[in-house]
Structure 1
């Protein structure tokens, strides 16, 4: 809030702020019967004792008050459009003084950006920020711990300039208008770029060392010299990493080989038994089949048909 006496004719306030105008009634000799405030040619507030009542006009409604005794005008929630010349009339007479109001938006906290040439021997720093409704804005720059200098929105820096002091490429900019000022964070282009590069290199080295160490330890524990990076990644990525061309784990390969040998041994034994059985069968088939009636007993070898003996044949 800013209070203005009649002898002040110019002031600047922030958007959203409050204006209080206190007119000088010393030139008014008669009792006050009417008060009227104007913004340019448009009425803001009006009071008349004879007609009674207070009128607040247009865009000033709900945010303007008028003291009917002192003539003080109070406007809150100032907007950019409230800028202009204000005047007051007592008893329809205009005092000598008028009041000029300028409403500005507060400047934002600025940020510094840089644009360098190919060799980075020269860089242009820019003090950035949205200054809509905040103009006119002045820009100041500070190098290291030096004094503020009014230069402009941009500052050109070269290696020869930075070599003059030990500021370490540290720069700060400030935005300022009639109602506010803001200062940026310290900016160091060389430090920022170098830090980013060094940080990236360190992280990369740490990751590579961890991966290589893990691979060597795993390879030593497994004892398989033929193991590759693919085997290592398959084991520790739980199937999320790339698989080999055959898609078979090393452990599974060993297990499958053992099972094949056992199967072959069992199959070999089975084939041998089958061959032995087949051989015996062939031998049995080569022998003639006989039954009890076909067998000639030794004592019957010399007999004659019909049971006749040799003695009977010769009449003995």
Structure 2
């Protein structure tokens, strides 16, 4: 007989627990706790709200309020609703109402602090980067961290710190961290991690191309190699066409012609 009585009570307890309403709010928010449909409740002549096992507010012709609910609690005698303003973390818990001495389905209220502003910092090592998602997590219950690399969410990375090895396929890697809890979400500043090996090689070869191009451009403009110029590179004469090579050839031809004429004259005299 004891078993037949205990089993229905156990089933009733499970049903009540499964039917319990849940609300999630942030510190500073406002909530309206509802005992049920006013049409079903009918005329209300008695209201009682408990926070856990302690009486929070009541009305049976006169208002009663206790503890923090004196300043932040309100009762609607027409609907039986209790409003709590400026929610604080200690407002979390189970709230149970009794309307006309009839207990209603309990309501679970969870109050969370909002997650803080975030700052992303990193340290560079020879073969990897170490990144840290910084924020004041005092009073934050079990925050969840998320990381995005080049816009892609890293599904298995949920720690405060992240290690990224050097990636030879990316010139720049963009990283962002996020923190969230049931009532809020924040995103950090983005950080760009440069692949120093690739950038160094690009700078090296670009410098070679610039220097080589400048040397050949000077050769075409001046007609001489830069080391043959008597002037300095920052002077205008350095880049001007010089008669050096052409003039030397002309003098050689003139000297040769003169020598030939002299030989011819000597032959005629003989």
Same fold (TM over 0.5): yes
Cα pair distance change 1:148/1:183, threshold 3 Å: farther
Structure 1 length-normalised TM: 0.52
Task: Give the drift of 1:127.
Answer: 1.1
Distance in 1 (CA, whole Å) between partners of 2:77 and 2:41 is: 16
Q: Following the alignment from structure 2 to structure 1, what is the Cα–Cα distance between the partners of residues 163 and 98?
A: 54
Provide the residue aligned with 1:82 in structure 2.
Answer: 91
Which of residues 93, 97, 122 in structure 2 aligns to 1:114? 122
Question: Which residue of 2 is the match for residue 169 of structure 1?
Answer: 173
Of 32, 35, 48, 1:36 maps to 48
Query: Are the equivalent residues in 2 in contact too, given 1:35–1:88 (CA < 8 A)?
Result: yes
Are 2:26 and 1:14 aligned?
Answer: yes
Structure 1 residues 126 and 15: CA distance shift in structure 2, 3 A: same
Deviations 1:261-298 (A, max 9, x none): xxxxxxxxxxxxxxxxxxxxxxxxxxxxxxxxxxxxxx
Deviation, 1:115, is 3.4
Distance between the aligned counterparts of 2:170 and 2:152, measured in 1?
A: 10
Taking structure 2 as the reference length, the TM-score comes to 0.60
* Structure 1 residue runs without a partner (length 5+): 1-6, 195-316
Q: CA RMSD in A?
A: 2.5
Check 1:8–1:40 CA distance in 2 against 1; reply closer, same or farther (3 A cut).
closer
8 Å Cα contact 1:17-1:77 kept in structure 2: yes
Structure ID, larger Rg? 1
User: 2 CA distance for matches of 1:191 and 1:181?
Assistant: 30
Superposition pairs of residues 144-293 of structure 1, within 5 angstroms: 144-147=150-153, 149-152=155-158, 153-159=160-166, 162-166=167-171, 168-190=172-194
Is 1:98 matched with 2:106?
yes
Q: Give the match for residue 144 of structure 2.
A: 138
Asked if 2 retains the 8 angstrom alpha-carbon contact of 1:105 and 1:132, the reply is no
| Gaps in structure 2 of 5+ consecutive residues | 1-18, 200-270
Deviation at 1:174, TM superposition (A): 0.6
Offset of residue 136 of structure 1: 2.1
Structure that is richer in strand per residue: 2
8 Å Cα contact 2:146-2:153 kept in structure 1? no
Q: 1:15 to 1:165 in 2, by over 3 A?
A: same
Cα distance in structure 1, aligned partners of 2:122 and 2:67: 47
Higher RCO (C-alpha under 8 Å, 6+ residues apart) = 2
1:191: Cα distance to partner?
Answer: 8.3
Report the CA distance shift for 1:191/1:45 in structure 2 as closer, same or farther (over 3 A): farther
Q: For residue 102 of structure 2, give the secondary structure of its aligned residue in structure 1.
A: coil
User: Within 1, Cα distance between the matches of 2:96 and 2:112?
Assistant: 20
Distance in 2, matches of 1:130 and 1:176, equals: 13
Q: What per-residue deviation string (whole Å, max 9, x for no partner) do you get for residues 233-287 of structure 1?
A: xxxxxxxxxxxxxxxxxxxxxxxxxxxxxxxxxxxxxxxxxxxxxxxxxxxxxxx
C-alpha separation in 2, matches of 1:171 and 1:29: 55
- Asked whether the 8 Å contact 2:148–2:154 carries over to 1, the reply is yes
**Counterpart position of 1:214:** none
Q: Is the 8 A contact 1:28 1:90 kept in 2?
A: no
